[in-house]
Structure 1
Amino acid sequence: MSDAPQSAVLRRRLPFSVVLGVGLALAIVAVSLLAPYLSPFDPMRMAAGPRLSSPSAAHLFGTDEFGRDLFSRVLLGGRLSLGIGLTAVVSGIVFGGLIGLVAAFGSRLAETILLRLIDVMYSFPDTLIALALVAFLGPGIGNATLAIAISLVPFYARVAYGLAAAERAKPYIEAARLAGIRSGRLVRVHVMPNISQGLIVMATLGFSSAILSAAGLSFLGLGVQPPSPEWGAILASGRNYITKAPWILIFPGLAICLTVLSFNLIGDSLRDLVDPRRKDQP
């Protein structure tokens, strides 16, 4: 009799969406990291096959308008897209988390000023912020990554502030302050470990947004520049051949969809697991 409740708990802790999301994400990351070894052709090599050749045994995803092997380019494009997304999310969560913690445990004046700045930035879509920054800084992979990271800062700042403010209201914070523990040590030793779980969950969701933003900027010619095979850049190069060679758009588009889906599944499932209001739901 005791095995049934235990198995039910395990199923609740590891729902199918988590397994599917983790499996997809691991497969995409592994294939992207091993791209130089899995690619049958040099992704930059022109005339690797006939121009606009349809998928075949020689070229699994076909070729583009320059005869470059699309399978090799999509594989290597995964490294660029994932690298941009990871760098942007880590940077955004570090600076946004710092701003949120300062707002929660700083002075009243600092809290008011920072929250108003966050509200102003958060009122604009993150994609619009990234577009404006790239238009100001100029196109390129470095500027695109920086722009995406800055666009994510308000989101993570609000998340960190909400989590830290909830911790601030707990009795152990008041007890620690009465014991003479400084705010910096209190945040570093007690608050950050308690809010890190929530930030990690939101990071998985922010990663999907960063991947989409990177692809969107490259598609508009403001992100990764040709001939680098980033997924959005491949889509941009193939839009003129959508009727003649639709595979140029299908395969990188599918890669973007699967990547975003996998991390959204992970993020949504982890959010359900760590949310105390949902733990008792079937």
Structure 2
Amino acid sequence: MTDTTTNHRPRRLPAALRQWNIAVGALILGIVVLAAILAPWIAPYDPFKMASGPRLTGPSAAHWFGTDELGRDLFSRVLLGARLSLGIGFAAVAVGLLFGVTFGMIIAFCPERVKALLLRIVDVVYSFPDTLLALALVAFMGPGVENATIAIAISLIPFYARVTYGLAAVERAKPYVEAAQIAQAAPARIMRIQVLPNILQSLIVIGSIGFSSAILSAAGLSFLGLGVQPPSPEWGSILASGRNYISRAPWILIFPGLAICLTVLSFNLIGDGIRDLTDPKSRRRRS
């Protein structure tokens, strides 16, 4: 008899999970998203109910994050605030990507004079910080969740349009696009079938950057009273309610602030990891 031995090689993790930044970012984001989805069921208290007992109590076994100035459980409010903060971020980025990518690709295929004019318009709008632009738009439209979401989405469009134009312009100069143009393929078909799939990975990276910006803008608008209105809990509005108690009850600012920081960090880590996977040169430059 012949003895046969089988070499068991350890299974390698998928490339995405071997990137520590993607793994850590996905773990943090997964926890935040799961908490946002399950918030109505796992929140130990009604986040809107004002307590008749002591207020501004510190973290304890009964109230993990303490209570606010109205005696409301801060842990429950941060959990429910995740739904609003993430919801505004996802909606704003989705709308911003849709219009920004479409506009950027159209500019890349426009005649030179039209292209130059449209690029100047985009550059002028893009010169304003996105949070400042969103602030001006909300001040004009009025406060509220819907208006804040629309304003943040509009503020992201110039960024997505400018980046998409640069990516699409590079692809347009390649032989396969020139061949399609010689074959008289419709520009819309070239954009959709040939250009878009080749820039999709880069769009995912800039999309993650947009999420971070959208969440920060949403928190900033709510902090200034132009976003989510009380008593609805949103991380920025919770920070605003606790700014008068920073020395007496700092936990009102610490916990929603940590939620914002961790969520923004998770999107940035995921974006960096995807960039390293799709562009090995960037990883070598940093190492």
TM-score, length basis structure 2: 0.92
Tell me which residue corresponds to 1:215: 219
- Over residues 12-58 of structure 1, what are the superposed CA-to-partner deviations in whole Å (9 max), with x where a residue is unaligned? 87221111001001111001110001101111111175211111111
Identity of aligned residues (%): 64
Residue 280 to residue 251, structure 1, CA distance change in 2 (3 Å): closer
Tell me which residue corresponds to 1:196: 200
Tell me which residue corresponds to 2:105: 101
Asked if the contact 1:49–1:69 (Cα under 8 Å) also holds between the matched residues in 2, the reply is no
1:184: how far off? Answer: 1.1
Structure 1 unaligned blocks of 5 or more: none
Q: Is 1:161 equivalent to 2:150 in the alignment? A: no
Give the aligned residue type for 2:246: I
Give the aligned residue type for 2:162: R
1:179 to 170, 175, 183: 183
Asked if the contact 2:219–2:237 (Cα under 8 Å) also holds between the matched residues in 1, the reply is yes
Residue 105 to residue 30, structure 1, CA distance change in 2 (3 Å): same
Residue 66 to residue 279, structure 1, CA distance change in 2 (3 Å): closer
Asked if the contact 1:48–1:68 (Cα under 8 Å) also holds between the matched residues in 2, the reply is no
Tell me which residue corresponds to 2:255: 251
Structure 2 unaligned blocks of 5 or more: 1-8
Report the secondary structure of 1:277's partner residue. Answer: helix
Q: CA RMSD in A?
A: 2.0
1:278: how far off? Answer: 3.1
Asked if the contact 1:99–1:114 (Cα under 8 Å) also holds between the matched residues in 2, the reply is no
Q: Is 1:28 equivalent to 2:32 in the alignment? A: yes
CA distance in 2, matches of 1:48, 1:253: 27
Counterparts of 1:1-282 in structure 2 under 5 Å? 14-47=18-51, 50-278=54-282
Report the secondary structure of 2:47's partner residue. Answer: coil
Count of aligned residue pairs for this structure pair? 279
Asked if the contact 1:49–1:68 (Cα under 8 Å) also holds between the matched residues in 2, the reply is no
Residue 270 to residue 129, structure 1, CA distance change in 2 (3 Å): same
Give the aligned residue type for 1:53: T
1:271: how far off? Answer: 1.3
Give the aligned residue type for 2:209: L
Give the aligned residue type for 2:122: I
